[in-house]
Chain A
């Protein structure tokens, strides 16, 4: 046991010396390999952080959302649609929502304006989400801003600002408060106001709303009730809470353009490395193997040597790549991805990501990167090592 261990330690020492002799080439391979792993791991960490956060936070999203569709687009929904749902047994409440976007042409910002209905669940607890003491429910003409929206509007020390209604008349609003920083991932661009004010700002008639939130008595019946709503209101799109939660598992997939580019870049870099290795050993490497065989090394020893060399390069690159990726995502706010993740958004939340690191994901990444590299390193070495030493030396 000790002899075998000592033998492998010696082979490892020799492998390290061999790697050091060709340090420029091996260092280059290590850096490229680490960069590929960094790219793939960073994407995986960003998406898993956002997917996990969405899954947890949106567990309290409306149980069913009903939107009216017309000519393939979402349109305002008549409040009378809500009355038609009363016949469905199991519906606890139907609450009309008014929300939409307000584009600020001066600043290029796109705010999300949300009317807050007093009969929404847990509406009385909203005051806790606002910095300072804000009387809740909000009074007429008073709004609560997300932090990015407040910063973009540059209101300090003013508390008054105005938005244009569709007829270009001005609607004045008073800032009652700003959402707390820890809610930024939900509220950065939000302007929350009483339902009547949102209706007034968007010019939505009193008989209509943007969509309807339906709350059911038994959460196990969400899907059944959603199917019944679809039958009663065939011109609507009915979204359930489980669908909303699943959305974020779908939108950050490897099929998105950016992810495909990352993956293709990784595959291309890996293919070049594999090609270099699989196309055979250099004459120098063949000569080295032949000399080792003449000195008494067996084929298995040479395979062990190549395995150690490949394993060291791939293992170190993996460790380096994954460490940098974690630092980049958690402490660097995924700075390299942010330009694509948020695009031309003027209103940007401070991304505070804390992805879960599971053994499954680490092993998956290891299996896709290190193992194929080991295979393409060892196979040509095995081919060279099985050739008699004399013929290898004679070239």
Chain B
């Protein structure tokens, strides 16, 4: 007997959902690991007085966006151009 097209589709969707469930479960394991290191990160942040995550280190306004001038890419000299690639990913900080 020939399989109905709908059952083939159902198999594909079920496979994708099973992969998703597996990925989410593995992601949750990582989130739990990160949650366990949070007290250590808190004590480090407090003891070193840290204000930023270390993601990009090429420019000070993307290394320390929290304590940099909002318009710093254009403050290095008059008519300065923004030339760091990270400047295209990170928006300027607009503080309330």
**Do A and B come from the same complex?**
yes
On whether the beta carbons of B44 and A340 are closer than 8 Å, the reply is: no
> CB-CB contacts of A52-64 with B at 8 A, as 1s and 0s?
0110111111100
Q: Are A354 and B42 in contact (CB under 8 A)?
A: no
Among A84-92, A116-124, A268-276, A291-299, the stretch that binds chain B is A116-124
The answer on a CB contact under 8 Å between B51 and A58 is: yes
Inter-chain contacts of A72 with B (CB < 8 A): 69, 75
Neighbouring B residues of A343 by C-beta, 8 Å: 56, 58-59, 62, 84-87, 89
B32 closest partner in A (C-beta): A354
Write out the residue numbers on chain B whose beta carbons fall within 8 Å of the beta carbon of A243: 66, 95-96
Question: Residues of A contacting B41 with CB < 8 Å?
Answer: 57, 60, 182-183, 185-186
Q: Is the CB of A346 within 8 A of B42?
A: no
Q: How many residues of chain B get a CB closer than 8 Å to chain A's CBs?
A: 63
Chain A residues contacting B60 (CB-CB under 8 Å) are 101
Which of A60, A101, A125, A180: most chain B CB closer than 10 A? A60
Give the residue name and chain of the B residue nearest to A319 (CB): B16
Assess the B49–A342 pair: CB atoms within 8 A: no
Which of B6, B40, B57, B95 is in CB contact (< 8 Å) with A346? Answer: B57
> Taking the nearest CB of chain A, how far is it from the CB of B68, in angstroms?
8
User: Measured between alpha carbons, how far is A323 from B47 in the docked complex, in Å?
Assistant: 39
> Given A186-B54, A340-B89, A342-B56, A211–B67 Cβ distance below 8 Å?
yes
Contact (Cβ within 8 A) A319 B54: no
The segment out of A13-21, A153-161, A162-170 that lies at the interface is: A13-21
Q: A38-79: which residues lie under 8 A (CB-CB) from chain B?
A: 50, 53-54, 56-62, 65, 67, 72-74
Chain B residues in 8 Å Cβ range of A192: 48
Q: Which residue of B lies closest to A352 (CB)?
A: B30
- The 8 A CB mask of A301-340 against B (1 = contact, 0 = none) is 0000000000010001001101100110011000001011
Q: Could you count the A-B residue pairs with CB atoms below 8 Å apart for me: how many are there?
A: 247
B51 with A244: CB separation less than 8 A: yes
Instruction: Judge whether A112 and B54 touch: CB under 8 Å.
Output: yes
Cα of A239 to Cα of B68 in the assembled complex, Å = 10
Question: Count of A residues near B, CB < 8 Å?
Answer: 96
Interface: B11 (CB within 8 A):
no
Whether B54 lies near A330 (C-beta < 8 A) is no
Q: Scoring B residues 21 to 47 as 1 if CB is less than 8 Å from chain A, else 0, what string do you get?
A: 001101110110010011011111111
Cβ–Cβ contact B85 & A340, under 8 A:
yes
Residues of A within 8 A of B27 (CB): 326, 330, 354-355, 357
B38 touches A57 (CB 8 A): yes
Which of A249-257, A281-289, A369-377, A381-389 lies at the interface?
Answer: A249-257
10 more CB-based (< 8 A) A-B contacts, given A61-B46, A322-B20? A12-B6, A58-B53, A65-B51, A112-B57, A117-B49, A182-B37, A188-B57, A252-B91, A256-B89, A354-B31
List 6 contacting pairs A-B, 8 Å CB cutoff, sorted by A: A17-B5, A54-B53, A60-B43, A112-B54, A211-B67, A319-B13
| A residues lining the B interface (CB < 8 Å) | 9, 12-13, 16-17, 20, 50, 53-54, 56-62, 65, 67, 72-74, 95, 97, 101, 109-110, 112, 114, 116-117, 120-123, 125-126, 128-129, 146, 148, 180, 182-190, 192, 211, 213, 239, 243-244, 246-248, 250-253, 255-259, 312, 316, 319-320, 322-323, 326-327, 330-331, 337, 339-349, 351-352, 354-357
